[in-house]
Amino acid sequence: MRPYDRHARVMRLTSLDLILIAVYLAGITAFGIALRRGQSTVRDYFLGGRTAPWWALAFSIVATETSTLTIVGTPALAFAGNLTFLQLVLGYLAGRVVIVLVFLPRYFRGEYYTAYQLMERRFGAKVKAVAASTFLVTRALAEGVRIAAIGFVIKAAFGTGQRTSVLLIVALVLIYTFEGGMKAVIWTDVVQFLLYFSCSIASFFLLLHAIPGGWTTVMHAASTTDKFRMFDFSFSFTNPAKTYTFWSGMIGGTFLTMASHGTDQTIVQRLLAAKSERESKIALLASGGIILFQFALFLVLGVMLYAWHGAPVVHAGVSYDSVLPDFIVTAMPSGMRGLMIAAILAIAMSNASGSLNSLAASSVLDFQELRGRDLSSQVHEGEPAGDEKSRPSGTPRDFFRFSRGMTLVWGALLALLGTLNWGPMLEAGLTIASITFGILLGLFLLAFLFQRATARGVLVGMFTGLAGILYIHFRTPLLWTWYVPAGTFITFLAGAMGSYL
């Protein structure tokens, strides 16, 4: 077998490809801007007026948790390995069930706009500020990795540098997110999901047609390296070859999803934008079914790309993130190539828009006390609340403008982070998120399951959890799939003990 050579084929985009990409970029931006009508309050800007149906929210959730890392990195995992990553996805499904049963009923007992306002009600403003700060740092870094991944696609397609491609995508997303708020985010997510999902299915058939011998060749190439292996019931905390096993997948994936979908503002904001608790639950469960099919499709594409390259020799520790972008620009027919690149751009734009809106929402709503302002009543009634001493000087329109201003600030920061070099991207993004997700999940479980938890105790738990998981990351060989369970356990245990003491 020969080694994989990513420079073996060269082909440039045609005029048709460029036209399709340009039409998509212009069309989705214009569509997002058109949704700005009727927005005048923070509630409109951050929750879209709670008018989106459950199916649109399901598509938006999938589009949000699917990133350029997913469509570029997931086929690369199967290209170099097999299908065992699906075991982690099974944990994603189990985590959703826990959120439906434990988290969502509490979110809908009040009128919340961020995940961390619930923590304020339980523990006070300081805990809310610490939790929100943890989210802001984590989401900014993780989204920086996601945006950086678009550089692979743009560089393969246009030959441009990473910085140029990142600035272009962030600028376009910033325009319609700034104008349209959460309503624009949700409905552009729907369009972007339909585009990349249909193009991914089309890629399956195009790739199958491009492989001499079709599926028979795929099966033959895969059999020699056990590419279609899905389950691994061995157990290890430290062996990199056992990163994706049934146990790490089910346990780690469940905890990861409980944290990412139950405590991370980016997803929680969509769940809170539902018309009712019931529709929120349906949207979350439906998204799980879609995400399972989607990851299976991306992994199979990776196996097919392995067969298309003639079953090449792959080397451990080498990144194969460019394998799908290379296929797109070198082997896809004109027109389809342009649509596929537009689909990958759609994923990047969907992630960035959701992150921008959620980062702005948390910045505005979770740090009111630092500005001596109370937005909660102004969101609904349009009047400041409290006595004369606590009454803020701003109006609902002022807060609305401030919210849009924070969107611009975060857009600039994400553009900067997207120009950095993050290494192998799928696992880099998941590792960054996993370091702090356990801390947030431990906090929320203390609030939900431990009635004697106190504000001082949970703060002790969060800082102990952060110290513990940083020590684990830098000083131990523990696999990243165990970071969230470990961080959750440390935070919960330290928080409980701190509350007792």
pLDDT digits (tens, 9 = 90+) for 263-297: 988 899 899 999 899 999 999 999 999 999 999 99
Contact 310, 2 (CB under 8 A): yes
Calculate mean pLDDT across residues 68-91: 88
* Tokens matching residue 248: 């790490």
- Percentage above 90 pLDDT, the chain: 38
| Cβ within 8 Å of residue 209, ≥6 positions away | none
CA–CA distance, 207 with 304 (Å, rounded to integer): 7
User: In the chain, what are the domain boundaries?
Assistant: 15-423
- Counting every residue, how long is the chain? 501
CA–CA distance, 409 with 406 (Å, rounded to integer): 5
Burial of 459 (0-12, 13-18, 19+ CB in 10 A): buried
CA–CA distance, 491 with 137 (Å, rounded to integer): 18
CA–CA distance, 407 with 500 (Å, rounded to integer): 41
pLDDT tens readout for residues 215-242: 999 999 888 888 999 999 998 888 887 8
Most confident of 155-169, 347-361, 377-391, 455-469: 455-469
DSSP letter at 386 equals S
Q: Which residue has the higher pLDDT, 267 or 243?
A: 267
Per-residue model confidence (pLDDT) at position 427: 61
Please name the helix (run of DSSP H) or strand (run of DSSP E) that holds residue 207, with its range, or none.
Answer: helix 162-210
pLDDT tens readout for residues 148-203: 777 666 666 666 666 777 787 788 888 888 877 888 889 988 998 999 999 999 99
pLDDT tens readout for residues 306-326: 999 888 878 776 778 788 888
* Tokens matching residue 88: 């982690």
Calculate mean pLDDT across residues 16-29: 89
**pTM of structure:** 0.85
* Tokens matching residue 379: 């969101």
Calculate mean pLDDT across residues 104-129: 88
CA–CA distance, 10 with 5 (Å, rounded to integer): 12
CA–CA distance, 342 with 251 (Å, rounded to integer): 35
CA–CA distance, 370 with 392 (Å, rounded to integer): 12
Calculate mean pLDDT across residues 332-356: 84
Q: What is the mean pLDDT of the chain?
A: 83
Per-residue model confidence (pLDDT) at position 151: 62
Third-level CATH fold of 15-423: Sodium/glucose cotransporter (1.20.1730)
Calculate mean pLDDT across residues 138-153: 76
Contact 213, 310 (CB under 8 A): no
Per-residue model confidence (pLDDT) at position 465: 94
Per-residue model confidence (pLDDT) at position 157: 63
CA–CA distance, 294 with 194 (Å, rounded to integer): 12
Question: pLDDT at residue 394 above 70?
Answer: no
Residue 258 amino acid letter = M
Question: pLDDT at residue 204 above 90?
Answer: yes
CA–CA distance, 112 with 135 (Å, rounded to integer): 16
Q: Tell whether the torsion through CA atoms of 33, 39, 44 and 49 is positive or negative.
A: negative
Under DSSP, is residue 423 helix (H, G, I), strand (E, B) or coil?
A: coil
Under DSSP, is residue 89 helix (H, G, I), strand (E, B) or coil?
A: helix
